[in-house]
Chains A and B, each alone.
Chain A
Amino acid sequence: MEKRVRFKGLWLPLLLVMPQLLITAVFFFYPAGQAIWQSLFIPDPFGLSMRYVGLGNFEFLLSDPFYRASFVTTAVFSILVTLVSMGVALYLAVLADRLIKGSGTYRTLLIWPYAVAPAVAGVLWLFMFNTRVGVVTWYLGVLGYDWNHVLNQGEAMGLVVVASAWGRISYNFLFFLAGLQAIPRSVIEAAAIDGARFWTRFRTIVFPLLSPTTFFLLVVNIVYAFFETFGVIHTITSGGPQQATTILVYKVYADGFVGQDLGSSAAQSVILLVIVGILTIIQFKYIERRVHY
Chain B
Amino acid sequence: MKRVLIAAALSTTALTATSAAAQTEIEFWHDKTGRLGELLKEQVATFNGMQSDYVVVESQKGNYSEVLNAGIAAFRAGEQPDILLVFEVGTATMMAAEGAIKPVYEVMAEAGADFDADGFIGAVKGYYTTNDGQMLSMPYNSSTPVLWVNRDKLQEAGINPDVDLSTWQNVGDVLDQLKAAGVDCPMTTAWQSWVHLENLSAYHDVPFATKENGFSGTDTELAFNGPVQVQHISTMGEWARDGKFIYAGRRNEGGANFRGGDCALFTESSAGYAGINAEAKFEFEVRPLPYWEGVDGAPMNTIIGGASLWVLAGQTDEEYKGVAEFLNFLSSPEIQAKWHQDTGYLPITSAAGDLTREQGFYDENPGTDIAVIQMTANQPTANSKGLRLGSFDQIRGIIDEELEAVWSGDKTAQAALDSAAERGNALLRRFEQATR
Chain A interface residues toward B at CB < 8 A: 42-48, 51, 53, 60, 64, 66, 131-133, 150-153, 238-243, 254-255, 257-261, 263-264
Contacts and interface: CB of A to CB of B under 8 A. Distances in A.
A261 B250 contact: no
Contacts of A151: 247, 404, 407-408
A47 B434 CA distance: 11
The 5 closest A-B pairs by CB, nearest first: A259-B394, A46-B100, A241-B404, A151-B408, A46-B97
Contacts of A53: 433
B430 A261 contact: yes
A132 B261 CA distance: 12
A150 B247 contact: yes
Nearest to A53: B433
Nearest to B394: A259
23 contacts: A42-B430, A46-B100, A48-B99, A60-B430, A131-B248, A132-B248, A132-B260, A132-B262, A150-B249, A150-B253, A151-B247, A151-B404, A152-B408, A242-B402, A242-B405, A254-B394, A257-B69, A258-B393, A258-B394, A258-B397, A259-B394, A260-B69, A261-B434
A14 to B, nearest CB: 35
A261 B93 CA distance: 11
A42 B433 contact: yes
B434 A42 contact: yes
B256 interface: yes
Interface string B59-92: 0000001001100100110000000000000000
Interface in B253-272: 253, 256-257, 260, 262
A147 to B, nearest CB: 13
Given A242-B408, A255-B394, 4 more contacts: A48-B98, A151-B407, A153-B408, A254-B397
Interface string B383-418: 000000001011001001110110110100000000
Interface of B: 65, 68-69, 72, 75-76, 93, 96-100, 247-250, 253, 256-257, 260, 262, 391, 393-394, 397, 400-402, 404-405, 407-408, 410, 423, 426-427, 430, 433-436
Contacts of A45: 72, 93, 97
A239 B250 CA distance: 11
Nearest to A57: B430
B65 A257 contact: yes
B423 A240 contact: no
A46 B404 contact: no
A240 B250 contact: yes
B257 A132 contact: yes
Contacts of B410: 242
B136 to A, nearest CB: 15
A153 B249 CA distance: 13
A264 B404 CA distance: 25
A49 to B, nearest CB: 8
B423 A66 contact: yes
A46 B75 contact: yes
Contacts of A131: 248
Contacts of A42: 430, 433-434
Contacts of B433: 42, 51, 53
A242 B394 contact: no
B76 A46 contact: yes
Contacts of B65: 257-258
B15 to A, nearest CB: 41
